[in-house]
Amino acid sequence: MSILAQPGFSELLERAGAIPPRHGRGKWTCPECKRPALSVNADKAVYHCFYAGCGFSGGPGTLRKRLGIASERLPSAEYRELCRKQERAHDAAERLYSAAKARRFELYDQLCVLAGIQVGAHRAGLSETAWRALAMVYREQPAIEAELDRLGSGNAGTVLECLSEAKV
């Protein structure tokens, strides 16, 4: 069995006798004390029973030992390659984050300039120049805010798309 084919965390818990909550949320039933007091954090792959005196807690390694499942290791060459891929992915993510952050600062600066133009136009009163300035502000501002929204709430593909559009 390869490392990718090993059972997932929830499956390990169920094999150990833990019973998941009926509606997907709440406490699991602990296989040790048989009470619904088992707290499971699947994101961190940890579990702990909060019933007094019950010591059922740990992570995937503890469950594998309990179930007699040996952890298989990748061959060292595969493991090193996986580590290199993870490192490249991490570096790419950091570069993307830095580029997106720099672009957000540029956009905030543009919003500040537009705000200054807007204030100046309002102070200038009813003139043709003031109206043109306000029209430009109200034409540019929504596009800048939309791009900021896409940069802040988009996935990596959306962020890359925004950054590539900004360079055009």
Q: What is the spatial distance between Cα 17 and Cα 56, in angstroms, rounded to a whole number? A: 11
In a domain, 75, yes or no: no
Is residue 61 a contact partner of residue 73, using CB atoms and an 8 Å limit? no
Residues 6+ apart with CB under 8 A from 23: none
* pLDDT beyond 60 at 114: yes
Supply the pLDDT for residue 2. 36
Domain stops at, among 40, 67, 94: 67
9 & 55 share domain: yes
SS3 113: helix
Q: Tell me which residue has tokens 């469950």.
A: 63
* Domain total of the chain: 2
Q: Is residue 152 part of a domain?
A: yes
Give pLDDT, residue 141. 96
Residue 50: helix, strand or coil by DSSP? Answer: coil
In a domain, residue 60? The reply is: yes
Flag whether 99 is in a domain.
yes
* Least confident interval from 103-107, 118-122, 142-146, 150-154: 150-154
Q: CA-to-CA distance for 135 and 128, rounded, in angstroms?
A: 11
H-type alpha helices, the chain: 9-15, 60-67, 76-124, 128-153, 156-167
Average pLDDT for residues 51-69, to the nearest whole number? Answer: 90
pTM to 2 decimal places: 0.55
Determine the average pLDDT of the residues in 64-89: 87
- Residue 92 shares a structural domain with residue 161: yes
Q: Which pairs count as long-range contacts for 97-102, CB under 8 Å and 24+ apart, including other chains? A: 99/163, 100/151, 100/159, 100/162, 100/163
Within a 13 Å sphere around the CA of 139, how many CA atoms are in the beta-carbon half?
6
Tell me: do 39 and 90 sit in the same domain. Answer: no
Query: What's the burial of 13, exposed, middle or buried (CB within 10 Å: 0-12/13-18/19+)?
Result: buried
Query: Does residue 38 register a pLDDT over 90?
Result: yes
| Dihedral in degrees, nearest 10, Cα atoms 105, 108, 113, 118 | 180
In a domain, 76, yes or no: no
Domain range for residue 51?
3-67
Q: Which of 23, 39, 67 is the last residue of a domain?
A: 67
Joined together, the tokens standing for residue 93 give 């993510």
The answer to whether residue 28 is domain-embedded is: yes
